[in-house]
C-alpha cells in the first residue's frame, strides 16, 4: 500500500471522490448508508488524507511555526511545550526551529517557514534586529505573536514578563539586605529582556540611593558558558569586588555560582546571588537561588492561544500585549553582606 488517495477510496466505496471528501469533512448532507460504506473503505485502505493537497486547496496548512533562540534553554523549552500542547489540541502541528540567537539564521528560518505556508508563527526573537523581518511578515499577512522578547516600536501581539518590575524586586531584595556594591551580568543590550532588567536594576539602585556604577554591569551570553565565567571572574577580580550579583537569567546564575565556588567562595556568605527565571526540577541546588520565577509554560500556552485566535480571525484589534507577572522566590543564595 503506497498511500491510497481519495479516489481509491471512492472507487472502493462505489461513490465519487466528492462524497468521500464530504464524509471526511463531516458534511451533513450525506446519506447514512453511503457514509458507512465510505468509512469502511477508508478503514480498509488505511487511507490518510494528504495534508499537502489539503493545505493547497484550503489555503491553510494547519501548521504553526515556533522559533526560539535555544530550544535547550529550559525557559524556552517550557514555552515550546506549552505552545505545542495548545496547538495540538486545536489540531495544529508545530514546526520547530532553533535560531541559536543568530539573526541570519533566524531570518532564514522564518523564510523557510513561510515557504512551508505555516498559518502563523510564534517567535521568541533573537534580538532587536529581528524587527525588519517582522515587517515583511506582517505584509505577507501571516499572523505572528512575539513571546518573551519584544522589539522597539513593535505594535503587534506580545506575551512577556515584567522585566523591570522583576529586576527591581530582586535588586531591592539585595539592597534591603544591606548590599551596596551590586553587580549585574546581563546579555547584550539588543535583547529587550536584558534592557528591561537593567532598567529595573537601575531603578532599584536609585531608590536605595546607590549611585549607578557602569563598570559593575558586564555583558555575557547565556549560550556561551565561557563568557559567563569570564564576566564573573572579571567582577570578582576587581580590587573591590561586588558583594552581590544579579544574574540576568538562571543559566547565567549557574555559571556565576560555579565560578564563585571554583574560586573558593561560599554562597551566600562570600557573595549573594539572585537571578531571573527559576530552575525547574532542582530544589536541591546549593544554595538554591533566590529568583524571579516566571510562568514560562504559560507564556507558551497564552501566546499560542492568541496566535490561533488571530489565525481564525477571532480577534480584530491591533495588537494585544499580555504581561505575566513573575514571583519573587526568596531562598538561600542571597544574605546580608559581611
Partner DNA sequence: CTGTTAGCGCGTTCAT
Partner DNA sequence: ATGAACGCGCTAACAG
| Contact criterion met (CB below 8 Å) for 17 and 42 | no
Q: Where are the beta strands (DSSP E) in 216-255?
A: 217-219, 244-247
Interface pick for a copy of itself out of 25, 27, 286, 312 (rule CB under 8 A): 286
Within 12-41, which residues bind DNA (CB under 7 A)? 14-19, 21-22, 24-25, 28-31, 33-35
Subset of residues 58 to 117 that bind DNA, contact rule: CB under 7 A: 58-59
Give the three cell numbers for residue 212. Answer: 549607578
DSSP states of 141-155: T--EEEES---TT--
> Under rule CB under 8 A, which residues in 247-276 are in contact with a copy of itself?
251, 254, 257-258, 261
- Of 98 and 192, which has the nearer Cβ to a copy of itself? 98
Alpha-carbon distance of 274 to 167, in angstroms, equals 9
CB 327 within 8 A of CB 169: no
Under rule CB under 8 A, residue 24 binds a copy of itself: no
Q: What is the DSSP string of 42-86?
A: HHHHT----HHHHHHHHT--SEEEEEES-TTSHHHHHHHHHHHHH
The full length of the chain comes to: 338
Based on CB atoms, which residue is closest to DNA, 140 or 237? 140
CB atoms within 10 A of CB 33: 8
Element housing 184 (H / E):
strand 182-186
Nearest approach in angstroms of CB 42 to DNA is: 10
* Nearest CB to DNA, comparing residues 9 and 253: 9
- Considering the complex, state which of residue 52 and residue 240 has its C-beta at the smaller distance from DNA: 52
- Is 114 near a copy of itself (CB under 8 A)? yes
Of 45 and 230, the one with the shorter C-beta distance to a copy of itself is 45
What would you measure as the largest C-alpha separation in the chain, in angstroms? 88
- Asked if 67 and 109 count as a contact pair (C-beta separation under 8 A), the reply is yes
Contact 121, 274 (CB under 8 A): no
In contact, 224 and 214? CB cutoff 8 Å? no
The reply on whether position 57 binds DNA by CB under 7 A is: yes
Region near DNA per CB under 7 A, out of 6-14, 79-87, 95-103, 265-273: 6-14
> Which one among 85, 190, 219, 309 touches a copy of itself, defined by CB under 8 A?
85
Closer residue to DNA (CB): 22 or 149: 22
Residues 247 and 275 sit within 8 Å (Cβ to Cβ) = yes
Q: What is the DSSP letter of 269?
A: T
Stretch of 11-19, 122-130, 262-270, 300-308 lying at the interface with DNA (CB under 7 A): 11-19
Which residue in the set 55, 129, 131, 234 belongs to the binding site for a copy of itself (CB under 8 A)?
55
How crowded is the C-beta side of 311, counted as CA atoms within 13 Å? 26
Closest to DNA by CB, 59 vs 338, is 59
Which helix H or strand E contains 35, and what residues bound it? helix 32-45
295 touches, from a copy of itself, DNA, none (C-beta below 5 to 8 Å by class): none
The C-alpha atoms of residue 60 and residue 120 are separated, in whole angstroms, by: 10
Q: Report the partner that residue 24 touches, choosing among DNA, a copy of itself, none (CB closer than 5 to 8 A by kind).
A: DNA
- Region 119-158 residues binding a copy of itself, contact defined as CB under 8 A: 136, 139-141
Residue 17 makes contact with a copy of itself by CB under 8 A: no
Binding positions for a copy of itself, rule: CB under 8 A: 1-3, 46, 48-53, 55-56, 61, 63, 66, 70-72, 74, 77-78, 80-81, 84-85, 88, 93-98, 109, 111-117, 136, 139-141, 251, 254, 257-258, 261, 279-286
Binding positions for DNA, rule: CB under 7 A: 3, 5-7, 14-19, 21-22, 24-25, 28-31, 33-35, 47, 49-50, 53-54, 56-59
Amino acid at each position: 500500500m503506497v498511500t491510497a488517495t481519495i479516489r481509491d477510496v471512492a472507487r472502493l466505496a462505489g461513490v465519487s471522490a466528492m462524497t468521500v471528501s464530504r464524509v471526511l469533512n463531516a458534511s451533513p448532507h450525506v446519506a447514512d448508508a453511503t457514509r458507512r460504506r465510505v468509512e469502511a473503505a477508508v478503514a480498509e485502505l488505511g487511507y490518510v488524507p494528504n495534508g499537502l493537497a489539503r493545505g493547497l486547496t484550503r489555503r491553510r496548512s494547519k501548521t504553526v511555526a515556533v522559533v526560539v533562540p535555544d530550544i535547550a534553554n529550559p525557559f524556552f523549552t517550557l514555552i515550546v511545550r506549552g505552545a505545542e500542547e495548545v496547538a495540538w489540541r486545536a489540531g495544529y502541528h508545530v514546526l520547530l526551529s532553533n535560531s541559536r540567537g543568530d539573526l541570519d539564521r533566524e531570518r532564514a528560518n522564518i523564510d523557510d517557514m513561510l515557504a512551508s505556508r505555516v498559518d502563523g508563527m510564534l517567535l521568541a526573537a533573537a534580538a532587536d534586529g529581528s524587527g525588519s523581518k517582522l515587517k515583511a511578515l506582517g505584509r505577507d499577512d501571516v499572523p505572528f505573536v512575539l513571546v518573551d522578547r519584544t522589539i522597539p516600536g513593535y505594535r503587534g501581539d506580545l506575551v512577556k514578563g515584567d522585566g523591570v518590575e522583576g529586576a527591581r524586586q530582586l535588586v531591592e531584595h539585595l539592597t534591603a539586605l544591606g548590599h551596596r556594591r551590586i553587580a549585574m551580568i546581563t546579555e547584550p543590550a539588543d535583547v529587550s529582556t536584558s534592557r528591561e532588567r537593567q532598567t529595573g536594576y537601575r531603578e532599584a539602585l536609585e531608590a536605595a540611593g546607590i549611585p549607578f556604577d557602569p563598570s559593575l554591569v558586564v555583558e555575557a551570553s547565556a549560550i556561551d558558558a565561557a563568557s559567563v565565567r569570564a564576566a564573573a571572574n572579571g567582577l570578582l577580580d576587581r580590587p573591590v569586588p561586588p558583594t552581590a550579583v544579579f544574574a540576568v537569567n538562571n543559566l547565567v546564575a549557574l555559571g556565576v555560582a560555579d565560578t564563585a565556588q571554583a574560586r573558593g567562595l561560599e554562597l551566600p556568605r562570600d557573595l549573594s546571588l539572585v537571578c531571573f527565571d527559576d530552575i525547574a526540577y532542582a530544589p536541591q541546588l546549593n544554595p538554591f537561588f533566590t529568583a524571579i520565577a516566571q510562568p514560562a509554560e504559560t507564556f507558551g500556552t497564552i501566546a499560542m492561544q492568541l496566535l490561533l485566535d488571530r489565525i481564525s480571525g477571532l480577534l480584530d484589534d491591533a495588537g494585544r500585549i499580555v504581561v505575566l507577572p513573575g514571583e519573587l522566590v526568596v531562598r538561600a543564595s542571597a544574605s546580608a553582606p559581611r
